[in-house]
Chain A
């Protein structure tokens, strides 16, 4: 794997999040009944940052949770490396809430499909919206994002890596080539 193109650096990544935070507030007409749920691992970090951004704008702290979708995947037996099951940590009731699902990269849509099933097992939200930092195309399911940080046309031979300080010691988004 080799870094090919840097798509976002620390500042541009941050600007994307601030813009998404504004869009979420605009679409939901404020932060009432709003909550964020991040998909492990990087989606969870992004969700926490978005909650901070929303607090800066709206002066309201909205609830944020973490979703682990391992048990809902449709490819459990296909992946070579066994996924480790982590906890789902959503300590508020999502019923009748507007839930914004947060993930780092939207690709085939299968992760989001699993996350929708996982969420609906936890309650009946008023709505579920989807925020992603990067949409790289190549969908295999009829799923689209409501909030996108950056649309990036990619080839299937490439991978998009979102690196965040919480896990990777720096903030950046890069395209890497498999070789």
Chain B
């Protein structure tokens, strides 16, 4: 299996073998973070630019740590304080970064498709760190990596994804990745937070949280993204917790060793109770640790894939 892409834009584009290659590479990288000197020279002399149009702490820091453990140089650009405010377009920003002879752009943008558009117009590597409601591939990869590490396989697992599916790029990337690897995915949310047609991605829908949890080997609890609420789609916080919140009582009806995942940041008492977030079934902090290994693998592979890249359009 050879990685021949210069970009990682989403899991929809990848086949099973490519996803498995990333996971296997990540497994090898995990050991680096357990060393006293947490650094290998694989990307020495490469420059990674984190271009973030949306506020993000954990994803940006995770990419930054990953790049630094590979010995790359890292530059962080937050759009709020950059020339974007002076009216520069995304493509111009991207070309300027390319002109600085950077090697990889990690982009977070509020518009779906932003990473793909940028990747077509620059010759350097682009890694999608979340674009609008579309995809957040590295988050899904680290979720899948954590599941696989805990349960030894993905094929045949029942995975429930609970919460704001409509606004969630994490949900979309997870559905693509998990179904490609042979897991059965059930999504669960209030009806107005489930986008029409999502079952065509190969998942089941339920509006009842107990149904979703009953056979689940793992549940991925999404954050309620109140900052994305434009109208009255969102139920009251307490109402949501009552009907969909993951609590100890609800888990009593689920499998005893069900795995609890959450991409963070968690809203305690809204989508998940404190008790559950801190219980031994919860792998929320393991996800953070594994995120570094997965992002190291992605940065390493796209940098290799760059040699085989196609020329940019324009």
Residues on A lying within 8 angstroms of B by beta carbon are 68, 70-72, 76-77, 81-82, 84-89, 117-118, 121-123
- Assess whether B40 is in contact with A121, with CB atoms less than 8 Å apart: yes
Which A residues are CB-close (under 8 A) to B151?
none
Which B residues are CB-close (under 8 A) to A72?
40-42
Question: What is the distance, in angstroms, from A90's C-beta to the closest C-beta of chain B?
Answer: 9
Q: Which of B25-33, B155-163, B173-181, B236-244 contacts A (4 or more CB under 8 A)?
A: B25-33
- Assess whether A82 is in contact with B28, with CB atoms less than 8 Å apart: no
- Assess whether B31 is in contact with A88, with CB atoms less than 8 Å apart: yes
Which A residues are CB-close (under 8 A) to B13?
none
Q: In the complex, what distance in Å separates the CA atom of A76 from the CA atom of B44?
A: 11
- Assess whether A81 is in contact with B35, with CB atoms less than 8 Å apart: no
Question: What is the distance, in angstroms, from A79's C-beta to the closest C-beta of chain B?
Answer: 10
CB-nearest residue of chain A to B300: A85
Which B residues are CB-close (under 8 A) to A123?
36
Q: Mark B294-314, 1 if CB is under 8 A from A, else 0.
A: 000100100010010000000
- Assess whether B42 is in contact with A71, with CB atoms less than 8 Å apart: yes
- Assess whether B35 is in contact with A82, with CB atoms less than 8 Å apart: no
- Assess whether A82 is in contact with B42, with CB atoms less than 8 Å apart: no
Given contacts A71-B42, A121-B40, A123-B36, contact A76 B31 (CB under 8 A): no
Interface residues of B, CB < 8 Å — how many?
23
Which A residues are CB-close (under 8 A) to B27?
87
Which A residues are CB-close (under 8 A) to B70?
71
Q: Does B37 interact with chain A (Cβ within 8 Å)?
A: yes
Q: In the complex, what distance in Å separates the CA atom of A131 from the CA atom of B32?
A: 26
- Assess whether A71 is in contact with B24, with CB atoms less than 8 Å apart: no
Q: In the complex, what distance in Å separates the CA atom of A144 from the CA atom of B313?
A: 50
Q: In the complex, what distance in Å separates the CA atom of A117 from the CA atom of B36?
A: 15
Q: In the complex, what distance in Å separates the CA atom of A84 from the CA atom of B1?
A: 9
Closest 8 CB pairs of A and B: A71-B42, A71-B40, A85-B28, A87-B28, A82-B2, A121-B37, A85-B25, A86-B28
Which B residues are CB-close (under 8 A) to A70?
42
CB-nearest residue of chain A to B3: A82
CB-nearest residue of chain B to A68: B28
Complex partner residue of B31 from A77, A82, A87, A117, CB under 8 angstroms: A87
Complex partner residue of B307 from A77, A84, A121, CB under 8 angstroms: A77
19 additional A-B pairs beyond A71-B42, A82-B3, A87-B31, beta carbons within 8 Å, are A68-B28, A71-B32, A71-B70, A72-B41, A77-B304, A77-B307, A81-B2, A84-B21, A85-B25, A88-B28, A89-B31, A117-B41, A118-B40, A121-B35, A121-B39, A121-B40, A122-B36, A122-B37, A123-B36
Which B residues are CB-close (under 8 A) to A76?
42, 304
Q: Which B residues, 1 to 39, have Cβ-Cβ distances below 8 Å to chain A?
A: 1-3, 21, 24-25, 27-29, 31-32, 35-37, 39
